[in-house]
Structure 1
Amino acid sequence: MKKFCFLAALTVFLLCMIFSYVYAQKNPLAIFNLKAANIEAMGYNGEILHALISSIESDKNIDLMPRREIEEVLFKTGLVQDNTHEAVLTAGKALGINFVLFGEVTKRGSEILTQFSLMDIQNKCIVKNWDLVFRDRDSILKKIPEFSRELGDILSNYKSGAGDASMESKTSTGVEYLYAKIEGDAVRLSWKLRTHKTLLSYHVYRAESKDGPYQFLGKTADSYFQDSTVKKGLTYFYQIGIIAGTDPEVKSSYTALFITAGEKRPHPPLVMSGRGYVKRVEIKFVPSLKNEQNKFNITKYKIYRQEGPGDWQNIGVTDSKNTSQFDIDFTVFDESDLKDGTTYTYALSSLDDKNSESPMSDPVPVETIRNPVLFLDKDNLLRKVILSWKSVDTVAGYYLYRKTENTGWKKIAGISGASKTNITDDKELSDGQQYLYYLTAYDDKKETGPSNEVKAKTKDLPAFPSNLQAQVGLVKSVRISWTPLEDQDVGGYNIYRGTDDSNMKIIATVRENKTSSYLDKGEAFTPLEDGRNYFYTVASFNLFDAEGKLTTYVQASTKPRPEAVIGLSASAGTDHISISWKKNPETDIKLNYLYRNENGGSWSKVQELNPGQTNYEDFALKPEINYGYRIIAEDIDGLKSDPAESNAVTSPIIKPQKAK
């Protein structure tokens, strides 16, 4: 039953290929549906397509493949009309057509913008692009016939042999591929260049050994050459020389695939597509219908790979039995030692039950996914680094790696999605530290190699504030001030104090970066001492409380207590004691307090005296008592001096005698 299903599917595919072959002989052009790029363009795309087909059929200037046959063949081969270059090329191969016209329509305001592209399927290149602008339906009917005639002229030039030489090449200098295959008793060479130059001609050389010597075989202005001088059973190697106008000939380093000429051999499979992944390539192909027709029993397919101008390498063999009885196409993968962002050229050959190998298929270039390019967007930030990169299509996401001078590489982030192109790294970063980063891309199977390395440095610890000053002479306090830092990453300031510059301790934290002063009153139960000299310094800290360097210290003294009065003396008068002293030289004395004791006992306040007064007479005396006096000065801030004490004086009052 499985064999029957496979044969049935193969028969359908064969019929599709036969139909496409017939139309390829009659109809060199297929026109695909025009894509409506926005909702407003829907309807116009159909009208433009209909007008174009009608104009071509009316003028009969282009051989056109009927739309019904296009849709039939594509449906039966599982393909669709799409306007991506890869899809157009694949569908064009399946149709067996020479050229495909495709494009899209956009409605923008009153304008109907239409983009057409003409693809040469055989040479795998865009022949020409058009941008047409229509104002309305009448404009479509008027301009489309002109476009139809221009299209016909281009196709006619190709028919007449003008070929690529009359068109603007889209590639860069060098040979993209050089291919040889058997056609009857001859070998047909074909090649494609990467060049912007036109009016090229070529010399063809042949050898029976890859290392030469190569003999001149002929000259051509086309990108193909037919060697009808081959001998049966011999293997040949070919090279070409490129001549641009009057420039010297440039020998290509490419060597054609070797061909064993003149033998009946199987036919190569048809490569439908190639797709690159991360260090992996997918190739899809279908068997050649000619092998069935020519009675070749294909048992295996060989897979060949070429990197640049190097030799072709046989990298694998796959069985001719498909894993699915319903699928006609085969899929093979190459995962052997592939590099990122590298173009490899693949070809396949058929191997029959007699171990006879076909020539190689048409080569298909495939580029593996490139590794990302990493950029530093911004560093010198507070414990974070901002990085970006160019997106890599078709990957599942990215991995970010980081290291320092003293640590190894560590994966620090996984970024999901190909379109994501930036990240902020703020994980476990230190202040003022230099880091190295690289990025990789990954898909569901593998991870690319590292991107370029990027250096980044986090922001240094904050600087100390400038212009630190201390105000002297305050009562039991010191006010310090500074110029705050204009830095939003500064979280505040730490204040340090000490009685000398070698023993500073933190006394306060100010959590506001714009604060510019602090009043130090000491602690709750240990206020600052009067007349004491203190040292101060300040450090800034960032939003993570990490502290920078200290300022140079400043010093300030609290206000001292008043000096004790001098010259205090007491002397007895007839009925009083006179006390005198010198005026205190300090200008902020508010009061002098006069105290007295009796016979060395406790002190009691006698009087509050104004600061200008320098003497006092005490009449409140008792007989036979020794009096001592002291004065304490108080300033306007309430600070009091040490007491100044007088000599003891005996009261001049005589105790009365008792009557006899």
Structure 2
Amino acid sequence: MKQLILPTLAATLLLFSGCTKQPSPSEEPKIDPSLPKVSVNGHIESMSSIAFEWKPLEDSHVKGYFVYRNNPDTNDNKLNRHASVKSRFVSHYTDTNLKPNTSYVYRFSSYNKKFQESDASKTFRVTTSPLLSSVSFFDSIGNLPRMAKLIWRPHNSPSVKGYILERQTIEKAQWQEIATINNRLQAEYIDTDLDDNRVYKYRLRAVTYENIKSTPSDIAKVVTKPLPQEIQNIQATTTEPKFIKVSWTQSADKDLSYYNVYRSSTGEGSYNYYMKLNETSFSDEISEDGKNYYYKVTTVDLDDLEGLQQGTPAHGSTLAKPLTPTFIDALVQKGAAVLTWKNNDNRTKTYTVIKTTKKSWYSSTSVDLTGIKGTSYTVKDLKPDTKYQFQVMAVDENDIMSEPTEAVDVLFSTPDR
């Protein structure tokens, strides 16, 4: 039963110093019929409190008041002594820390200095206010880079001091509190450091100044922005002299910003960042012949999200050196050295003969004899009693030279007279 309450009650919902918890008596209460009964004027309730007001008792035999209450967690309605008010001049009592939307049963009595009680007052069944509803509007903005933006309409109750934001993921089905917003009028929150292309669910609870959480809001679902698509059809050449041309198919992402190129000399392990490009191809200039490199290319969008590297890299190399010829013979005839060799590479266009003249054990000079068309060559004007060494290199149309053959020693001795 809920009765009208006196106007003074609204200003006296705080606990009074004379109100204390007291355990249930060990025996049945001793009744003194001469003691005046408590006449309750009314009550008022919130989500977590119920306040009562009664008419003060002027009888000097009254020392205070007992408050009886049931335990709503049990099925019976047995009333136990719940608290005592230790002054007959106090006319209010507030029961706190109650559960929202829960019925409680009360009754009151006065007591004297021997703790004898008056007859019980009328019994009051009072239900605390329902749990506060959350905000009326709660929504999200998705497709953001590793973040989610949550927006809501501020709660219209002045009893609300802020909000608690909760999040749920596929891996963690239990709702987790991720943020506390300490201003009722705040209307947005950005959740950061999220995974790419992931689904997140959010809900919001209002929090009162009594630290009571409201019911949860509607659930807002967010999908974060996916990474740019993986680059397709990346290719690298193996037939170009002194450079490797790398190319790939243009990204279909509409918010493409640029490409990142990564390079490795082994094809295993991590790749080193190499360059930033806006085009879909480039020539990697390399001075070394037959140099191998492995390439991976990623897309970076306008939000600086970078796509994944390819699982399989593109392998490229500069044009390798021609195969080394096979030295067949070196004969001394009439003061000249006749050299013959075998070609081992179809790319060969000309040959270079390296002529080394040994002047002493520690001194020698070398000269390259270039532009030789065939597979033999006669070196004339050899000096008597002089040691020579000859090597042959194949040369292709790009002037790339093979490794030289093993050196062949030739000694032109002075003829006997």
Category of TM-score, reference length = shorter chain: 0.5 to 0.7
**Relative to 1, partners in 2 of residues 1:459 and 1:269: Cα closer, same or farther, differing over 3 Å?**
closer
Residue 392 in structure 1 maps to residue 155 in structure 2: yes
CA distance in 1 between counterparts of 2:299 and 2:307 reads 6
Written as runs of structure 1 = structure 2, the 5 A alignment for 1:249-398 is: 300-303=40-43, 317-319=52-54, 337-338=99-100, 369-373=132-136, 375-394=138-157, 395-398=160-163
**Relative to 1, partners in 2 of residues 1:508 and 1:450: Cα closer, same or farther, differing over 3 Å?**
same
Q: For residue 548 of structure 1, what is the aligned residue in structure 2? A: 308
CA distance in 2 between counterparts of 1:269 and 1:560 reads 101
Q: For residue 349 of structure 1, what is the aligned residue in structure 2? A: none
Residue 506 in structure 1 maps to residue 270 in structure 2: yes
CA distance in 1 between counterparts of 2:338 and 2:219 reads 95
Q: For residue 456 of structure 1, what is the aligned residue in structure 2? A: 222
CA distance in 2 between counterparts of 1:473 and 1:652 reads 47
The Cα offsets for residues 546-567 of structure 1, whole Å up to 9 and x where unpaired, read as 8735343332333111233456
The total of aligned residue pairs comes to 325
Residue 608 in structure 1 maps to residue 354 in structure 2: no
CA distance in 2 between counterparts of 1:649 and 1:367 reads 111
CA contact (8 A) 1:462 1:541 kept: yes
TM-score by length of 1: 0.39
- 5+ residue gaps, structure 2: 14-37, 57-91, 102-119, 123-128
Q: For residue 244 of structure 1, what is the aligned residue in structure 2? A: none
**Relative to 1, partners in 2 of residues 1:619 and 1:520: Cα closer, same or farther, differing over 3 Å?**
closer
Identity %: 22
Q: For residue 382 of structure 2, what is the aligned residue in structure 1? A: 621
SS at match of 2:315: strand
Residue 409 in structure 1 maps to residue 175 in structure 2: yes
CA distance in 2 between counterparts of 1:496 and 1:507 reads 5
The Cα offsets for residues 141-172 of structure 1, whole Å up to 9 and x where unpaired, read as xxxxxxxxxxxxxxxxxxxxxxxxxxxxxxxx
**Relative to 1, partners in 2 of residues 1:487 and 1:623: Cα closer, same or farther, differing over 3 Å?**
same
CA distance in 1 between counterparts of 2:97 and 2:260 reads 59
Residue 471 in structure 1 maps to residue 206 in structure 2: no
CA distance in 2 between counterparts of 1:511 and 1:299 reads 88
CA contact (8 A) 2:395 2:401 kept: yes
CA distance in 1 between counterparts of 2:321 and 2:407 reads 21
Q: What is the one-letter code of the residue matched to 1:400?
A: L
CA contact (8 A) 1:572 1:652 kept: no
Q: For residue 531 of structure 1, what is the aligned residue in structure 2? A: 290
CA contact (8 A) 2:228 2:305 kept: no
SS at match of 1:466: coil
CA distance in 2 between counterparts of 1:434 and 1:510 reads 34
User: Cα offset for 1:618?
Assistant: 3.0
Written as runs of structure 1 = structure 2, the 5 A alignment for 1:89-128 is: none
Residue 264 (structure 2) aligned to one of 479, 497, 504: 497
Q: For residue 402 of structure 2, what is the aligned residue in structure 1? A: 641
User: Cα offset for 1:634?
Assistant: 4.5
Higher relative contact order (CA 8 A, sep 6+): 2
CA distance in 2 between counterparts of 1:385 and 1:489 reads 21
User: Cα offset for 1:470?
Assistant: 0.8
CA distance in 1 between counterparts of 2:272 and 2:407 reads 46
User: Cα offset for 1:380?
Assistant: 3.4
User: Cα offset for 1:483?
Assistant: 4.1
Q: For residue 576 of structure 1, what is the aligned residue in structure 2? A: 336
Q: What is the one-letter code of the residue matched to 1:440?
A: R
User: Cα offset for 1:448?
Assistant: 1.0
User: Cα offset for 1:606?
Assistant: 4.0
User: Cα offset for 1:409?
Assistant: 3.3
CA RMSD of aligned residues (A): 5.2
